Amino acid sequence: MNETEPVPEGFVRVEDTGPFMTLLGPLYYRSAGNGRIIALRIGGRHLNRRGIAHGGMLATLADSALSVNISLSRKPRLPTVTVTLTTDFVASARAGDWVEAHVDILKIGSRLAYANCYLQVGAKRILRASGVFAVTRAPRPDQASDG
Amino acid sequence: MNETEPVPEGFVRVEDTGPFMTLLGPLYYRSAGNGRIIALRIGGRHLNRRGIAHGGMLATLADSALSVNISLSRKPRLPTVTVTLTTDFVASARAGDWVEAHVDILKIGSRLAYANCYLQVGAKRILRASGVFAVTRAPRPDQASDG
Amino acid sequence: MNETEPVPEGFVRVEDTGPFMTLLGPLYYRSAGNGRIIALRIGGRHLNRRGIAHGGMLATLADSALSVNISLSRKPRLPTVTVTLTTDFVASARAGDWVEAHVDILKIGSRLAYANCYLQVGAKRILRASGVFAVTRAPRPDQASDG
Amino acid sequence: MNETEPVPEGFVRVEDTGPFMTLLGPLYYRSAGNGRIIALRIGGRHLNRRGIAHGGMLATLADSALSVNISLSRKPRLPTVTVTLTTDFVASARAGDWVEAHVDILKIGSRLAYANCYLQVGAKRILRASGVFAVTRAPRPDQASDG
């Protein structure tokens, strides 16, 4: 496998991800239930000195996937900031791996939102992450969704 | 402040950080006690869509600083992998901010190592992170230190 | 509901839980797949000054359920100690609530084991917890299971 | 050492801790800076089947110490609930050990409060814990402090 192989069917590129995710991406997504699976092909630039995906890269993917899914759970989008993120590194990812983030939202409250996430390579779970997010303001009814 | 301003006195560039930290860096360090303060100047490429440093960038800096300090605590360097990383986001960082990671090692065991870390902008703590790392093999006595 | 109401069908009392869980219990379990759902009826003694179940009580239930399920995943029982436990408090539990811990094991390695857990009152998830556990020794083949 | 030995000089008993901490305690405290060191003598009732303090007991002590110190940081007391608690188990505690919780508050915001904590037996740190707490309401100016 290499970085240029085509993305799996059903995935489309995430646009407008901000500078940091543009630097690391591209990210892809596929709708799944009420949310989105977020995915990325691990490339050489994502590796640490040991030749596996840097833990920070995987944590970033998890944080983004959690945040996007919570944001998209409301119309218009719910603006949030990360309060806490915990990550357990279960197995490693290598160059060429297609890593998918599967998010499970536990609660969207008026002030806090909770979700859990698994990063998977195929059916294998390589990272568990959970996040608590603060809702930064009530979305205005007249605000157009940018989702 | 901007990204090209000189690094604070006493800091030198970290070389040979691997592809992912090369993409995000440069990183700088300064010796402090038995360990190292690891630092980075936040630039435009580190920001999210809200114009503040991406949480994944800060988590990556914390993970690297924890890992480096644990590794350097033994001669030759102790090889480790991240088992778990928890991060609490206390305040945000902006473009131009000089962010320092201050690490406190709790324990280096034969199989597991524990450390806590604060990211600071000046005296202000903006993130708390803690990590547990697995020692991946006993370093060989004849192995030259690459620290 | 009150503390003396019968336990739900299919649950039996956990015996030999050690002094601390005896102080807090009784605990109950029901087989589910390859593991066990661990449960407890919240009583007045489990409450904090605000009249809801103390966070430490819920964290203890999660830790016990994670540990028991990892231990029982091998024959003979796998001896482990908790390395790290993270808990997100999603909703509260009250006196009379029957709280069940549903555990999902991610990996049982030779040195470390990973699992995630939800505490539920009915179908409502009130706490998410994850743990990393160190396998403390290889079980001896001749050791009788005490599971 | 045993459970009946006198508490260290300067510590006084915490009163009115609620049912759960009454079941587990008594707790003791000593003023330290703007906060309080919270402490407990480990007794036989706090042990697990392996003969060391149950992880849930130590997590409960950390949660209580974090919560009390955040609450007492404002006059009148700041009412909070635990949002997330992370605990790293660095070493074990045994019957007779005097375990002290030393809390470091990172931030008290209008909606969220952050703190880190070490449990110590003498100078030895046996557990690191961090918590994020939600401020549940603005204290009323006319409300008498119960601190």
Residue C115 has pLDDT above 60, yes or no: yes
Q: What is the pLDDT of residue C138?
A: 54
Beta-carbon contacts below 8 Å between C and D: 117
Which residues contact residue D35 at a Cβ distance below 8 angstroms, ignoring those fewer than 6 apart? D69, D72, D73, D103, D105
Residue C115 resides in a domain: yes
Residue D145 resides in a domain: no
Q: What is the pLDDT of residue D129?
A: 98
Residue C143 resides in a domain: no
Residue D120 bridge partners (DSSP):
D100, D125
The answer for C 108-127 residues in CB contact with D (under 8 A) is none
For chain D, the 3-state helix, strand and coil shares in percent, each to the nearest 5, are 20, 40, 40
Residue C84 resides in a domain: yes
Secondary structure (3-state) at D138:
coil
Which residues of C fall within a CB distance of 8 Å from B84? Answer: 83-84, 86, 132
Q: What is the pLDDT of residue D145?
A: 35
**Ranges of chain A with pLDDT below 70:** 1-4, 138-147
Q: What is the pLDDT of residue D17?
A: 83
Which residues of C fall within a CB distance of 8 Å from D88? Answer: 83-84
Burial code (b: 16+ CB inside 10 Å, e: under 16) for D7-19 equals: eeeebeebeebbb
Residue B4 resides in a domain: no
Task: List the single best residue of A83, A85, A128 to mutate versus D (max D Cβ within 10 A).
Answer: A83
Q: Which two tokens stand for residue A30?
A: 């596929």
Task: List the single best residue of A71, A77, A85, A112 to mutate versus B (max B Cβ within 10 A).
Answer: A85
- Using the Cβ of A136 and the Cβ atoms of chain D, whether some distance falls under 8 Å is answered with no
Helices D55-72 and C55-72, packing angle to 10 deg: 160
Separation of alpha carbons D35 and D30, rounded Å: 9
pLDDT tens column, C98-109? 999 999 999 999
Question: Consecutive sets of 10 residues in chain D, 147 residues long: mean pLDDT of each?
Answer: 73 91 95 92 95 97 96 91 97 97 96 98 98 80 38
pLDDT tens column, B36-58? 999 999 999 999 999 999 999 99
Residue D143 resides in a domain: no
Share of chain B above pLDDT 90, in %: 81
Other C-beta atoms closer than 10 Å to the C-beta of B89 total 28
Residue B52 resides in a domain: yes
Q: pLDDT: is C10 or D142 the higher one?
A: C10
Which residues of B fall within a CB distance of 8 Å from D59? Answer: none
Domain hosting C67: range is 12-135
Closest to D62 in 3D by CA, of D103, D112, D28:
D103
**What average pLDDT does the segment C45-49 reach?**
95
Could you tell me the pLDDT band of residue B4, with boundaries at 50, 70 and 90? low
What's the predicted TM-score (pTM) here?
A: 0.91
Which residues contact residue C89 at a Cβ distance below 8 angstroms, ignoring those fewer than 6 apart? C55, C58, C126, C127, D81, D82, D83, D84, D85
Q: Which two tokens stand for residue B93?
A: 């960082």
Secondary structure (3-state) at D33:
coil
- Using the Cβ of B45 and the Cβ atoms of chain A, whether some distance falls under 8 Å is answered with yes
Closest to D78 in 3D by CA, of D34, D109, D36, D117:
D109
Separation of alpha carbons D13 and D38, rounded Å: 10
Q: Number of folded domains in chain C?
A: 1
Residue C3 resides in a domain: no
Instruction: Give B45→chain D minimum CA distance, Å.
Output: 28
Q: Which two tokens stand for residue C23?
A: 């102080």
Residue D38: CATH number of its domain: 3.10.129.10
Whether residues D83 and A111 touch (CB distance < 8 A) is answered with: no
Pairing of strands C12-13, B124-135: unpaired
Q: What is the pLDDT of residue C17?
A: 83
Which residues contact residue B55 at a Cβ distance below 8 angstroms, ignoring those fewer than 6 apart? A60, A63, A82, A85, B48, B87, B89
- Using the Cβ of B17 and the Cβ atoms of chain D, whether some distance falls under 8 Å is answered with no
Residue B139 has pLDDT above 60, yes or no: no
